[in-house]
Amino acid sequence: MKKWNAILIGSIFIGVGINGLLAPHHLLDGGMIGISLIANYTWGFQPGLVIIILSLPLYGLAWFYHRSYFYNSLHGMLISSFFIDAFSPIRHWTHPPLLLCALIGGFLVGTGIGIMLQQDTSTGGTDLLALIISKLTNLNVGIIIFLIDGIVIICGGLLLGGESFVYSLITIIAVGITTTFITITKRTQPAI
């Protein structure tokens, strides 16, 4: 039950952060969310649907190479993708200035991801790809995720312009700090 609550609450945070703060200013996150936002800004595709379609091959690999990750993140990916698309109407509301959108949007997305990670679930996506690459190469999974996120932000910056690139960097820093803080507090809490 805790895992399902974490997926639901985390997905709401992610959906609101993306649609309420990032998307109105064409800001990006890293990973699969960032790729789906690039597809949305460039071609108008629904980001949640893009996440699902692009994640299918990764989940196929996970089925063969890391089945527990497949089971623990599939429902997180599906539900968060649903909320990302379901909350798209809030893109048209009034929004705070760009810097606040980058910071608060990053905080909300990072909170959603952190809540899910606390219960050993996630949104899947490129984190899953990084896990598979790490197992094959013995590289640190955090470094691989950082490299993938960097590639996504650089590509997005080239497509969307310099301002989007700079503020998207602020967003991914806010996501990273928030996610780290939330997941560290889980490890430092005493077991009951």
Structural domain boundaries in the chain:
2-186
Q: What would the 3-class secondary structure string for the chain be? A: CHHHHHHHHHHHHHHHHHHHHHHHHCCCCCHHHHHHHHHHHHHCCCHHHHHHHHHHHHHHHHHHHCHHHHHHHHHHHHHHHHHHHHCHHHHHCCCCCHHHHHHHHHHHHHHHHHHHHHCCCCCCCHHHHHHHHHHHHCCCHHHHHHHHHHHHHHHHHHHHCHHHHHHHHHHHHHHHHHHHHHHHHHHHCCCC
What's the rounded Cα separation, in Å, for the pair 159 and 18? 19
| CA-based R_g, the chain, Å | 16
pLDDT tens digit string along 79-131?
999 999 999 999 999 889 999 999 999 999 999 998 998 888 888 888 778 77
Among 17-26, 54-63, 77-86, 140-149, name the one with the lowest average pLDDT. Answer: 140-149
Output 87 or 179, whichever has higher pLDDT.
Answer: 87
Both tokens assigned to 184: 């560290």
For residues 11-35, average pLDDT? 95
pTM: 0.89
Whether residue 14 contacts residue 4, with contact meaning beta carbons closer than 8 Å, is answered with: no
Q: Sign of the CA dihedral 152, 101, 118, 77?
A: negative
Give residue 104's pLDDT. Answer: 97
